[in-house]
Amino acid sequence: MILRMGSSAFLPGGGISLYSGVGRLFSQKLRGEPLPLFETTQILGSPLHAVYSLRCSEWNGKTGCENNIHQLSERNMIPADVEKALAAQINQEFSAAYNYLAMSAWFDREGLDGFAHWMQMQHQEENMHAMKLFRYLLDRGGKVELDGIGKPRMEFSGVKEVFETALEQERGNTESINRLYALAGNQSDFATKSHLQWFLDEQVEEEKSIEDVIALLERAGSDPSALLYLNDKMGGRTDQGEANQ
């Protein structure tokens, strides 16, 4: 929808905030300040995104401006299938977080507190991924459709099997991010592509860190002292971004 506003301004109901926003832009323009490309305002409780453009000219020493306001609904801001795929990815990240929490509980029961700690860090990291997408989708005016999270697997035959399960999960997540990235590209949704670049890089790190742990576990074999040494090392993980210490 495009609203044209000249001297006889048409304002939709509740458009006071739009009007004051335009007034501020006029002032900015007259002061020679750069104009923002996007402005977000609120009309009747519904978030709308507006692109303002001003065309100013001078005549007899007086400056006159006319402005156009392009209001874009949420649907115009983000393609519907990208919105849906992002919502599904949020669910996938929260599901991964829940799975890591279950793995942490398993390690704790096994008396391997270092591995349990590492998995808890991983749990927090996945929550952070979900929230990063959650915030992004809302910032784009999208609808976040939260879905249920399935019961995680709670039992494992050994330490290595836990990490093999984690690796399988990460590989699945990489495929999912790749599909999302391709979809955003097909829809010319460049902002989403840009946002997902961080996730693509993150997945490379995540897979490698788990592969490294599996390689160390294979070297440790059935030596209990080697396993306890690794347990100590895993307990030294200090932040969510450090996947392998």
Residue found by looking up tokens 């200090």 in the block: 238
Question: Could you say whether residue 96 binds ligand FEO (CB under 6 A)?
Answer: yes
What's at 177, amino acid-wise?
Answer: I
- Residue 39 binds ligand FEO, judged by CB under 6 A: no
Closer residue to ligand FEO in complex, CB, 126/189: 126
Give the nearest distance from C-beta 227 to ligand FEO in angstroms: 24
Is residue 93 involved in binding ligand FEO (CB under 6 A)? yes
Note whether 173 binds ligand FEO by CB under 6 A.
yes
Sheet holding 38-43, edge to edge: 2-5, 62-72, 46-59, 38-43
Minimum CB–partner distance for residue 206 and ligand FEO (Å): 4
The site string for ligand FEO over 43-72 (x = CB under 6 A, - otherwise) reads: ------------------------------
* Contacts of 101 by beta carbon, 8 Å cutoff, 6+ apart: 119, 120, 123, 152
- Cα 56 to chain centroid, rounded: 39
Residue 57 CA to residue 63 CA, distance in Å, equals 6
Query: Judged by CB, which is closer to ligand FEO: 25, or 180?
Result: 180
Among 123, 129, 195, 237, binds ligand FEO (CB under 6 A): 129
Based on the shown chain and the rule CB under 6 A, indicate whether residue 206 belongs to the binding site for ligand FEO. Answer: yes
Choice between 74 and 205, CB closer to ligand FEO: 205
Q: What angle do CA 33, 36, 37 make, to 5 degrees?
A: 135
Measured from the CB atom, the residue of 23 and 172 that comes closer to ligand FEO is: 172
Element (H, E) at 60: none
Can you tell me which residue has the tokens 């391709």?
Answer: 182
Q: Which of 78, 95, 75, 49 is nearest to 180 (CA)?
A: 78
Q: Coil, strand or helix: which one is 34?
A: coil
Of 93 and 189, the one with the shorter C-beta distance to ligand FEO is 93
Q: Which of residues 147-166 bind ligand FEO (CB under 6 A)?
A: none
126 near ligand FEO, rule: CB under 6 A? yes
Strands 46-59 and 38-43: antiparallel
Shortest distance, position 66 Cβ to ligand FEO, whole Å: 48
Three-class DSSP category at 57: strand
Nearest approach, Cβ of residue 171 and ligand FEO (Å): 10
Give the count of residues interacting with ligand FEO (CB under 6 A): 7
Rounded-to-integer distance, Cα 244 and Cα 163, Å:
12
Using the rule CB under 6 A, is 195 a contact of ligand FEO? no
Phi and psi angles of residue 142, each rounded to the nearest 5 degrees, phi first = -85, 170
Cα Rg of the chain (Å, integer):
26
Least distance to ligand FEO, CB of residue 184, Å: 17
Contacts with ligand FEO by CB under 6 A lie at 93, 96, 126, 129, 170, 173, 206
